[in-house]
Amino acid sequence: MKKIVFFFILIATFHSVSAQKDSIVLNNKNKLVGEIQSLDKSVLTISTSYSDSDFKIKWHRVKEVYSNRLFIVSLSNGSRFNTTINTDSINKNIVLLDQGEFILESTLDKVIYLDAIGKNFLSRLTAEFDIGITLTKANNSKQLTGNALIKYNANKWSLNNAFSSVYNRQDGVEDIKRIENNTTFQWYLKNEWFLSTSAVLLSNNEQLLQLRTTAKLGAGYYFRRNNSMAFAAGSGLAYSNEEFIEDANPSRNSIEFYFGSEFNKYEIGDLSLLTSIFGYPSITEKGRFRVDFKFDMKYDLPWDFYIKTGITYNFDNQPAQGATKDDYVLQTSFGWELD
């Protein structure tokens, strides 16, 4: 009999633990109960049993949050640790971050990133895919553009891969082809510093590039990172290997110093901006200097769709023989985001 009673107590305890739910209270005093998934770029994602899809809520609309599950939490001062998060029962303006050994007091506006520990691989993965098509009767012009972005965020590091392509065909002129792929790995250090390594592949017939491979290794610093924006700068060394389309241009290698910055503004309603610029003064080729510039503007639509427009610009003051010094791509596309 005692064994039976113990068995039912065990089942009841298990059911009680498994039934524990997170909850948030909004500025309008509405309450949502479910499972907090993540907070990134000022958007909180929470799943509930009464909705087929997750709720995405602007972080500034959240007044209180309660969860005894463990999360990876980042604060605006660069601190990053594993903790539970609960609004204080007395002072509702304070959140308590219980790390086990001690409890830290903070405010919601200083919490800029939150990710549930124990999530599987796919739940840490985000991706964007978009495509643009332009058809013009004049000269029978056809243009196809495509972009893809895949991100993976872990506790101490992140891995991003960005791919873009442009293909244009029209009567009377040579086809235009441009393909770029950028893979970047970042390791987060204390006090907003980070280490970074990346590989950039570029094929561009406007600059007669069959393939340019650039490997970069450096460090950077986040001057500002909060729930509305992120601004970082970095520098380091780069090695470039270039193969050209025409035989008149032999392949060449270059060791370069690089420096640049990235600015991401994502708290403008459904609009977000991303811009970056990097300069590459060569160490081994006297007087050579390259610049890569990118600007994207993205507008979120319902059901994770979006419209994006942007410009990419490349400059080289010592291009291959017969090639232009600069090239740019201006495109507008329609896409979908997996989050």
Residue 125 identity: L
Q: How would residue 18 be classed by pLDDT, with cut points 50, 70 and 90?
A: very low
- Taking the C-alpha atoms of residue 127 and residue 159, their distance in angstroms, rounded to an integer, is 12
Pairing of strands 176-188, 157-169: antiparallel
Q: What is the CA radius of gyration of the chain?
A: 25
CATH of 123-338, one of 2.40.30.20, 3.40.50.300, 2.40.160.20, 1.20.120.420: 2.40.160.20
Q: Is the pLDDT of residue 152 over 60?
A: yes
Which are the contacts of 181, defined by CB distance < 8 A and separation ≥ 6? 161, 162, 163, 164, 200, 201
Containing 298, the helix (H) or strand (E) segment is strand 289-300
Structural domain spans, the chain = 23-119, 123-338
Average pLDDT over residues 233-251: 88
CB 142 within 8 A of CB 169: yes
pLDDT tens-digit map of 63-94:
999 999 888 888 888 788 888 999 998 998 89
pLDDT tens-digit map of 309-338:
999 999 999 988 888 888 888 888 999 988
pTM: 0.78
pLDDT tens-digit map of 159-204:
999 999 988 887 766 777 889 999 999 998 888 899 999 999 999 8
The pLDDT assigned to 2 comes to 46
- Residue 192: phi, psi to the nearest 5? 75, 10
Residue 222 identity: Y
Which are the contacts of 221, defined by CB distance < 8 A and separation ≥ 6? 192, 193, 194, 232, 233, 234
Could you give the maximum distance between any two Cα atoms of the chain, in Å?
92
- Residue 25: phi, psi to the nearest 5? -120, 130
Instruction: Convert 56-114 into a string of H (helix), E (strand) and C (coil).
Output: EEEHHHEEEEEEEEEEEEEECCCCEEEEEEEECCCCCCCEEEECCCCEEEECHHHEEEE
Residue 85 identity: I
CB 339 within 8 A of CB 140: no
Residue at token pair 């479910």: 34
